[in-house]
Chain A
Amino acid sequence: MIRHRKRNEKDFWIGVLSLFLFVLVALPAQAELRIDITRGVVEPLPVAIPEFVGKKTQEQEIGQKIAFVILANLERSGLFRGVDPGAFIEKNVSLNIQPRFADWRVIGTQALINGGVKLELDGRLRVEFRLWDVVAEQQMQGLAYHTMPNNWRRVAHKISEAIYQRITGEQGYIDTRIIYIAESGPATHRIKRLAVMDQDGENHRFLTDGETLVLTPRFSKTAQKIVFLSYYQDIPRVYLFDIETGIQERLGDFPGMTFAPRFLPDDSAVVMSYAKEGNSDIYVMDLDTRQSKQLTSNPPIDTSPSFSPDGERVVFNSDRGGSPQLYTMNADGRNVRRISFGKGHYGTPVWSPRGDLIAFTKIYQNRFFIGVMKPDGSGERLLTESFRDEGPTWSPNGRVLMFFRQTPGNSDGIGDRIRLYSIDLTGYNEREVVTPLDASDPAWSPLIP
């Protein structure tokens, strides 16, 4: 019996194919089950996930919840569709025997995920799962995890992540978190709080009490630290917040407002804007030496900087040409090039973690769009449009964008709804990311280590 089949290199084959056809690549017969996520999926892969089996009641309860969370994760990706459990013919799919593939094929299943839960004598929980290609009648993956019983949800995310990786050949974004700004109260006196949650909306918690206006949080590469803008004591400055220690500190000792912070890709420094006598320029502050370096110096506004993943280029927002547009420059501020040339205004550029694209907010004729373009400005593609779509953030695999959307209420501006949404880079699978209150300024964490 194969217990802990290791993923090997060839499993991580990355499909880079043309974007012309919108088909699901799930080849039957001998070819391996695979989804090419560079294509728009019109027909999600049918997956069956029976409740994970267990002997004791507690094991069965956890097994039920784990199966539910995995299915929800996979369905949210837009790549999978759950087969109705009412149609299952084979019950109690034990880990110790091969599934009856014909019974799964006949109800339209292509992938089967089964698993088992066991409470060990030392109090730990052991969760094991198998991923089966029902058509080819072979096991694609099998892994086991140990954790404490109250950490079952994290295991469900780990399993979902493993399945996503196995079937798409790419790193996923399921075991991640979102930090964002929770909003409440009337627009004139809006209360804004830092909040963090798992990618699926669970484990939600507020990190600040709403006394102080906070904006634009962003994660570090390790997901342990956050930079954000706080109006603490009515002095708007960039703060660094360590989730592990709970320690916060004002970043640097600038006499004027600092804002629009982001970590550099290696976490060694933070890039941000500093407004000196009304003029905003871009600075990089080294987190070890606390020395800052000025990258732009001219009268127009330079803000919203974001580094390329190789750390060599910076994309930013500037109105040096007369209106807010996107520019790139070298990490030392040289070699500035304008990259946005479409109609309208551009803002909040964010470099993809894959390096291949820049996401942005576009404003044209009082409508807001989320779009992407190549780093040289070519290939602009708009993914969303509404009264207000703003502030894109990339999933760590560079395949999904999250942003916030404001839906107006009545004509007096009462009853507005501001929520988080995600959309695949293909332009498909737009969906709301459910939050307890209104929400804005999302930032997606890297995969949790």
Chain B
Amino acid sequence: MRRFLAMSAAILLLAACETQTAGTGGARGAGGASYAGAGSTSAQQELGANVGDRVFFDLNKHEIRADAQKTLKAQAEWLQQRSSLNITIEGHCDERGTREYNLALGERRANAVKDYLVALGVSANRITTISYGEERPVALGHNDSAWAQNRRGVTKVN
């Protein structure tokens, strides 16, 4: 009898599995936007074309490089002229690390960008951050050039 009960429990377990997608919350979710801020398309385009919407990082680093400092200064000026816009900073990594470490590293990069913009006078209230770790590369190759493009902080207009 004990064995039969165990088997019955197993059937219930399987049955429960089949209904799981009906659950609410984390695993489903509407939207499906993989990137933050699909909102202000024209502002985003202007930022990307005229100012530069991204900065790059060295391997396993989150320090703002000299070339990135220039871009972020331009971003800060641009943002200060548009005080109604809020932004999200995405932190990204290359694939040369573990997934979990890269989530942490992406978070650190996004915050490094945020801190730099705040130091230049952009209000911290206007900035949110999100780490995508290595989940959203822009370059597909498995080489130094692709990895350099993927280690990035991207400023998105909300």
Contact = CB atoms under 8 A, between A and B. Distances in A.
Q: Report whether chain A binds chain B.
A: yes
A317 interface: yes
A215 B135 contact: yes
Given A347-B100, A348-B98, A250 B108 contact: no
Interface in A292-324: 301, 303-304, 317, 319, 323-324
A428 interface: no
A388 B95 contact: yes
B13 A244 contact: yes
Nearest to B25: A248
Contacts of A414: 140
B28 A151 contact: no
A413 B107 contact: no
Interface in B27-68: 27-34, 36, 60, 62
A123 B29 CA distance: 42
Contacts of A30: none
A154 interface: yes
A3 B46 CA distance: 80
B11 A208 contact: no
Interface residues of B, number: 62
Nearest to A387: B142
Contacts of A244: 12-13, 16
B14 A203 contact: yes
A245 B137 contact: no
Contact of A154 (B7, B60, B131, B138): B7
B97 A324 contact: yes
Nearest to B9: A449
A243 to B, nearest CB: 6
B4 A361 contact: no
A419 to B, nearest CB: 16
Nearest to B98: A347
B39 to A, nearest CB: 12
Contact of B17 (A196, A212, A237, A361): A196
A257 B97 contact: no
A348 B17 contact: no
B3 A212 contact: no
Interface in A240-276: 241, 243-250, 256-257, 259-260, 273, 275
B140 A212 contact: no
A278 interface: yes
A391 B10 contact: no
A448 interface: yes
A303 B17 contact: no
B15 to A, nearest CB: 10
B10 A154 contact: yes
Interface string A212-236: 1111100000001000111111111
Contact of A189 (B28, B34, B115): B34
Contacts of A338: none
A243 B99 contact: no
B111 interface: yes
B128 to A, nearest CB: 9
A250 B11 contact: no
Contact of B23 (A187, A246, A250, A348): A246
Contacts of B74: none
Interface residues of A, number: 85
A213 B103 CA distance: 13
Given A148-B7, A301-B108, A246 B16 contact: yes
B7 A278 contact: no
Interface string A361-386: 10100100000000000000000000
Given A363-B96, A366-B96, A234 B17 contact: no
Nearest to A157: B10
A205 B20 CA distance: 10
Contact of B98 (A247, A249, A256, A391): A391
B81 interface: no
Contact of A257 (B6, B112, B131): B131
Contact of B7 (A151, A187, A209): A151
B129 interface: yes
A303 B7 contact: no
A361 B25 CA distance: 31
Interface string B138-152: 111111001000000
A256 B104 CA distance: 11
A61 interface: no
A65 B123 CA distance: 67
Nearest to B91: A278
Nearest to A226: B27
Given A187-B137, A239-B26, A243-B16, A301 B104 contact: yes
Contact of A304 (B98, B114, B136): B98
B100 A408 contact: no
Contacts of A248: 23-27
A189 B3 CA distance: 46
5 contacts: A207-B21, A234-B36, A278-B108, A440-B99, A441-B99
List the 6 shortest-distance A-B pairs measured between CB atoms, nearest first.
A278-B111, A413-B140, A347-B98, A230-B26, A239-B26, A248-B25
Interface of B: 3-4, 6-7, 9-14, 16-34, 36, 60, 62, 95-101, 103-105, 107-108, 110-112, 114-115, 129-131, 135-143, 146
Given A216-B99, A278-B114, A412-B141, 19 more contacts: A147-B7, A188-B136, A188-B137, A189-B34, A192-B135, A208-B28, A209-B21, A233-B29, A234-B31, A236-B131, A239-B25, A239-B27, A246-B16, A246-B23, A248-B23, A248-B25, A317-B100, A324-B60, A440-B99
